[in-house]
A and B are shown apart, each in its own frame.
Chain A
Amino acid sequence: MNIALGTSLKIRSMIHMAAEPIPFFWPMRTFIHHNPLHGLEDMPFTEAVERGAKLFHGRTFLPRKVYQKYLAAGEINQFAVAAAIQDFVGNHERINGIALDKWLMSLLNEMELPFTLTNTLADAGDVHASLNSRDIRPVENMNLADLESFLCNKLLDCRPIYEAVDTLFGTDIGNELDELVIRTCLDFFDEGQSVWEMPERGRGLFAAWRCVAKRNLRFFLRGFHISRILEAADTPEGIIACVMQQLGIPEEQWIDYFTRELSRLHGWVGFIRWRSSARRYYWADQYPADLVDFMAIRLTLALALLNSRKLKRLAHTMNDLEETIHSNTIETYLRHELYGKTILPEMAFRVERAIQLGNKEKLEAVFYEYIAVKRNHEARHQAARFQELARLSGNQDALKRLSAEDISRLQNIIADFEKQEGMLWLHALESRAIGHLLNGLTPESGADGPEAGRPFAQAMFCIDTRSERIRRHLESVGDYQTFGIAGFFGVPVSFMPHGKGSETHLCPVIVTPKNLVLEITAAQYQDAAAITTLEKAIHELKESVLAPFVTVEAIGLLFGFDMVGKTLIPQTYNRWRRHLHEARPSTRLLLDKLSRRQADSVLRAVQRAVIEKAVEREFGIEPEKITDDITRDVRETALGRQHRADIFTRELGLNDEAAYAFIGRLQGAYRINRDFSHLQIEQLGRIGFTLDEQVTYVGTALRTIGLMKNFSRFVLLVGHGSTSENNPYESALDCGACGGNHGLVSGRVLAQMANKPQVRRALRRQHDIDIPDDTWFIPAFHNTTTDELHMHDLELIPPSHLVYIDRLRNGLVAASRLSAHERVPDLTPDENQETGPAKAFSLAQRNSMDWSQVRPEWGLSKNAYFVIGRRSLTKEFALHGRAFLHSYDYRTDPRRRLLENILTGPLVVGQWINMEHYFSVVDNERFGSGSKVNHNVAGRFGVMTGNISDLRTGLPSQTVLKDGLPYHEPIRLITVIEAPIEHARQAIEGVVAVKKLVHNGWLRMIVIDPDTRNASLYATERWHEIKLPIDESSSSEELFAL
């Protein structure tokens, strides 16, 4: 069946829509924190968690008993809980003699398990009878229509057909299908981990799989009719249409059906989703794949399994299932109970036997007996919960007096309450955290105070929560002023490290850098690991002075070899290995734009080198015999600037035909031709920044953090990263603002720009930023695992400054030690409670090198706050590594552009990090990645649990849990902007993306006006003014507004 173009495009579109709720999964070598429910951010938080829970079969709040622990430890504001209960009670009818507020308080405080039983056969009358020790009235003729609609709802509501079959017949198609699909993915997406390579990969996922599947003997032996299904159409879209029709799914349900199908392996699906939209991803360019391919494979296999010899006789289309439910309701119900694993254990054997025998009367008898037993069981169970709750709230007498109708109403009210319970806890947890933050902040009036003296040094740190500690300690040891800015320092860079052929994007993933920066060195440098897979010819070229240009992607490709990627096959997650790192010669960054003449000359040099290699290879001529005249002659001919290569033909003694053929090969295989030259010039144009761009980036970075005057002699630009051994999650501990990479290069880039006299002159002229001549920007690196601070590019520092370097270095070391001292007890609680800073510092270093260490540092765990404002707001307040701090001075930003940039860039990244932690804590198995101990690296880009599983997304338990309980406190990011309310409000409302996050409650937004010292909190669709300081015991309605 070949389908029309419109239908085919529509199917692509539907699959795109269906996949939207599934979050991206980035290869783990650059771990990107993301919100697992990012696809649902268009909905209010409350609705999205409900939908997310259903879609991913996960929990979106902590279990009640954990909140109870928080409550007992005073980490939840009990007044907020009481206020919320009062609010709830006020909105519900009263029931005779029942002190509902007490009931609900006891429920929250003292009952561990949920009160409400779902999907019960027992009604309130039965519960009432059970409470009064009466027998439950038997049912002889049950209304089967209700049962039928219950079953339809359970089995057919956009669920994959095989899931319904599994639930009714005890088969295991779903798991088998998942496993088959995962095996295909592992084969196809492998990035050099496996020795064996799947054939025909270059043709794309579906085409490659189709080739293999048709010849798969195992499939054939098991009676899978893959070929028959695949004959139906040539394209994946055609196959999808065909299978969906065979399964009998109506078209209006396709999108939802696809979503359910995709969410079963959301890790793999997220990876394919990311991969198919990634630009310049080597593996995706070589081996393309998208979700349409994936879906076609999945549906083909699903149909083949359903049609296989063993299962053929079972109902396996939508119509069959509907018919089965309708005509055999009783049997279907019993099957659903038995194989859906909800059956009462004491009846399991008899129900199973009755189903096996298939005798209709027998089935009916067992059915009525079963539902009677089940109703009794449920009624007793529910009655016991009533009695327990009444006892806990001292209201037993009132319970006895309730009628069946009262019971029913009370049951509904409590069920309603339990539905809202998660949000209630969350609000109470958040209001405690909000109160703590607001009472600790020290807003200072916006008026300019007396001019402060010039600090000894200034340092810009990443907004990362881990910078908060070291900044505080650095400020405490001397005359230091610190600032917070996103760790890519506002300069999106695509970076090509020396000796590597691939680019790394150093910026948040929501930005694609337009400028390429190359790392170059004058020293001879050989990366042995990278060159082993290279041909000799390329090796020689790489080692020439042209190396950095040759490794530029486009030029690398000109050799017709798979230069990119293969040269770079990662040894361990493509990270710079430590020993290589140490052996590296000092390097410089090429970050100025090439002029047209420079670009031409680079291109000429590369082309010349290629021609020499080609002549040498094809004619076996010694390199010294290939003169410049020959190469020029060949080059001009290949580029079409002359018709014949006479010198070349003569010098090599060739005939015209051979020369002509060689020129043809040069133009084709070696890509020396006019069109490709144009492309290469375009690529070379990506290298570096123009002077204007440099001025804009430096100016914007400084203005954003409010540093426009009073510059110190030293301005440190501190990037950060982590070091740990044997840790696939190492990148999760690196800089999120740098796309999960180390932040040092970004610091080097901005320093190099800011130290340039031309840039400073323009800043003075155009931006009113006067950087004195004696100010020097120094890049530095903050190792968050060890707390070390290292300065880089010291050889560039003017000699006049060197006398101060020791003082600076001592200050940094002192800050590192103090920071480690504060942090280490949390990491290794059993050891050395009483250690001093020096001991703590060495403990942290040991941790980073320990191969068996599953938790080298806590990373971003416990993140809770995002403060946008001047340092004066938080300076007196130890936030213990829980706050992202972004410097911002609203007085330098009258048009709010800078604030809008902070909100859309860094804040959005902060919110992703926060939500990733939130969901990884509340359900570590579904949204997190479980224990690291059972992880296996898959295909070099992800991890699985055990031998085969979905790709594990989210954070491992070791990152967010401690002794099985949350270490990270799951709350939404509490964001504070220091600015007049109107200023902040307009910035928030001005950007749709941010407005959406705030209005939909994906973060808590507070604005503090430094002049009035009033705070405004956004909740319940409006801004509420809060008086500071907050009295946490008064149940401030604004603070606790749900």
Chain B
Amino acid sequence: MKNLNLNPLKKLEIILEGEQLEFATDLLDHADVKGYTIVNNLSGKGSHGFHEGHLMFNEEEVLVMIIAAVPEEKVEPILEGFAPFFSRHSGVVFVSDIQVTRLVKFQGSRD
């Protein structure tokens, strides 16, 4: 593990209702975010009570999380984009510092 070249990036963890998944990924696509990971069927507790992650026949009502790694300068525009949405919908965005080895995987074509 020599010569590991680590680059700083920001990690976004966006949790919202499954029904809104397309909206969120569409926004990330338009922000030219190169990739993301989606975790389905989350359970947990929030302001609306406990959310169960086991519903079999309704995907719109479960919570999902989208994880994306983006350069720092993208964070603000993305949060600005989500602002009107979160003023009316439940959900959260966590932003944290991370490091990655292969930076090229995370840079959009406009960078």
CB pair B77 A901 closer than 8 Å: no
Q: Return chain A residues, CB-CB under 8 Å to B97.
A: none
The residues of B that contact A507 with a CB separation of less than 8 Å are 57
Decide: A508 near B57, CB < 8 A? Known: A9-B31, A13-B27, A990-B50.
Answer: yes
CB distance from A37 to the nearest CB of B (A): 16
Q: Which residues of A contact B76 (CB under 8 A)?
A: 6
Task: Give which listed residue, A5, A510, A512, A989, contacts B77 with CB less than 8 A.
Answer: A5
CA distance A444 to B22 in the complex (A): 46
Decide: A905 near B56, CB < 8 A? Known: A5-B31, A6-B77, A9-B77.
yes
Which residue of chain B has the shortest Cβ distance to A507 in the bound complex? B57
Which residues of chain B are near A490, meaning CB under 8 Å? 56-57
CB distance from B91 to the nearest CB of A (A): 13
Q: Assess whether A900 is interfacial by the CB under 8 Å rule.
A: yes
Q: Does A8 contact B (CB under 8 A)?
A: yes
For window 26-55 of B, CB contacts with A under 8 Å fall at 26-27, 30-31, 48-52, 54-55
Structural contact, B57 and A906, CB atoms closer than 8 A: yes
Does A117 make an interface contact (CB < 8 A)?
A: no
If the complex has contacts A8-B30, A12-B27, A990-B50, are A901 and B56 also in contact, measured as CB distance less than 8 A? yes
- Within 8 Å of chain A (Cβ to Cβ): is B13? no
Q: Could you tell me if B30 and A993 are in contact, using CB atoms closer than 8 angstroms?
A: no
Contact A12 B77 (CB under 8 A): no
Contact A511 B84 (CB under 8 A): no
Give the docked Cα–Cα distance between A897 and B54 (Å): 8
Question: Is A992 part of the contact surface with B, judged by Cβ < 8 Å?
Answer: yes
Interface 9-residue window, one of B1-9, B58-66, B98-106: B58-66
Within B58-107, which residues are at the interface with A (CB < 8 Å)?
58-61, 74, 76-78, 80-85, 88
**In the complex the two chains form, is B83's CB within 8 Å of A900's CB?**
no
B55 & A14 in contact (Cβ 8 Å cutoff): no
Query: Looking at the complex, which one of A8, A16, A897 makes contact with B23 (CB distance below 8 Å)?
Result: A16
Alpha-carbon distance A10/B76, docked complex (angstroms): 11
Contact residues in A for B81 (Cβ distance below 8 Å): 6, 8-10, 12-13
Q: Is the CB of A905 within 8 A of B57?
A: yes
Give the size range of A's interface with the partner: 35 or more
Known A-B contacts A508-B57, A901-B57; A991 and B84 likewise in contact (beta carbons under 8 Å) = no
> Which A residues lie within 8 Å of B60 (CB)?
510, 993
A255-B57 Cα distance, complex, nearest whole Å: 32
Interface string of A1-45 (1 = CB under 8 A from B): 000111111101110110000000000000000000000000000
Contacts of A290 in B (CB 8 A): 26
Known: A6-B76, A900-B55. A992 touches B61 (CB 8 A): yes
**Measured between C-beta atoms, what is the minimum distance from A159 to chain B in Å?**
21
User: Are B58 and A905 within 8 A (Cβ)?
Assistant: yes
Give the interface centre of B27, B49, B61 by most chain A CB atoms within 10 Å: B61
Residue of A nearest to B81 (CB): A9
B10-25 CB contacts (< 8 Å) to partner A: 22-23
B57: chain A residues within 8 A (beta carbon): 486, 490, 492, 507-508, 510-511, 901, 904-906
Which of B48, B49, B55, B83 is the one whose CB lies under 8 Å from A13?
Answer: B83
Residues in B whose Cβ lies below 8 Å from that of A993? 58, 60-61
Enumerate 5 A-B pairs (CB-CB under 8 Å) in ascending A order. Answer: A9-B31, A510-B57, A510-B61, A511-B59, A904-B61
Interface on A for B, CB 8 Å cutoff?
A: 4-10, 12-14, 16-17, 255, 276-277, 290, 486, 490, 492, 507-508, 510-512, 700, 897, 900-901, 904-906, 908, 989-993, 995
B interface residues, Cβ below 8 angstroms from A: 22-23, 26-27, 30-31, 48-52, 54-61, 74, 76-78, 80-85, 88
Contacts A16-B85, A905-B58 aside, 10 further interface pairs with beta carbons under 8 A come to A7-B80, A9-B82, A16-B23, A17-B84, A290-B26, A511-B57, A905-B55, A906-B57, A992-B61, A995-B49
